[in-house]
Amino acid sequence: MHNPAGLLSLEGMGFLLFCLAGAVALLAYARKELRETLRRRATLLDDAAGLLDNPRVTISRDGFPALSGTWRGHAIGMELIADSLVPRRLPQLWLKSTLIAQHPSPRPSIGVLARPAGTEFYSRVQGLPDTIVPTFPLDFPFLMRGRDATDAQVRRAGGPLRALFSDPQVKEAVITPRGAGLVRQIAEGERGAHILYRQMRFPVEQVPVELARKALAELQMLNSALETRPADAEVS
């Protein structure tokens, strides 16, 4: 029997329905995977929350958590930041930690950003106005900036900062009159998901509590790095 032009055969209709069913199934699977990914992301800081008093977790638009609370009298913030802006590099998952002291201190701001690429949207150092000539060497490129820092204060901060950056996971450290900040690498994205699907999937189920504890100790060390000592008062 002659098939009029423009009409599909039964075989063609069957193939079209098969493709449509496959597309629907694939969409349903993708939605299920997304829900599961977001569920896992939301719990990444659950263990770290146990280190803080009065912990509170909020979830950002991309599903990553932010944790706030208090620790030894200081206000603490920890947030996870996914970064895929550097070309030819796998996505990075950063832990951005902040300590806000109970009382501001009459001190400058001094910070270091390791291996700057110009895409660090999360950086606090790049927002500081003064370029500082470092008093110590590091084995990689870095940017040192501050506000109202004297040469003596830069030298004093140099020891703690150099000790911090001996750990290659540390991306940024900053001291301010209000407290201190730190950015650490948590994980690198899965290559297959990034190359094939342009997705950010990180092989981590939970930010290790020991790493979060280490970040708190480092924040405390940074916050005390420029404390005035009696000898300093005599010199000034």
Find where tokens 């895409």 sit.
119
Give a yes or no: residue 205 inside a domain: yes
| 15 domain-assigned | yes
134 belongs to a structural domain: yes
Let me know if residue 69 belongs to a domain.
Answer: yes
Residues of the chain short of pLDDT 50, as ranges, are: 5, 25-26, 29-30, 32, 194, 196-197, 230-236
Q: What is the pLDDT of residue 119?
A: 92
As for how many domains the chain has, the answer is 2
Helices (H), 43-76: 46-49
* CA–CA distance, 77 with 68 (Å, rounded to integer): 4
* Same domain flag for 53 and 35: no
Residue type, 149: A
What pTM, to 2 d.p., does this model score?
A: 0.79
Task: Note the pLDDT of residue 45.
Answer: 96
Between CA 73 and CA 80 the distance in angstroms is 23
Range of the domain at 18: 10-42
Query: What pLDDT is attached to residue 40?
Result: 80
On whether both 135 and 197 belong to a single domain, the answer is: yes
Examine the domain organization and report whether 19 and 135 are in the same domain: no
pLDDT score recorded for residue 192: 55
Structural domain includes residue 235: no
**For residues 68 and 55, is the Cβ–Cβ distance under 8 A?**
yes
On whether both 122 and 23 belong to a single domain, the answer is no
Q: Are residues 90 and 18 in the same domain?
A: no
Residues 6+ apart with CB under 8 A from 227: 105
Domain-located, residue 236 = no
Query: Given this model, what pLDDT does residue 84 score?
Result: 77
**Per-residue tokens: 201:** 């999937």
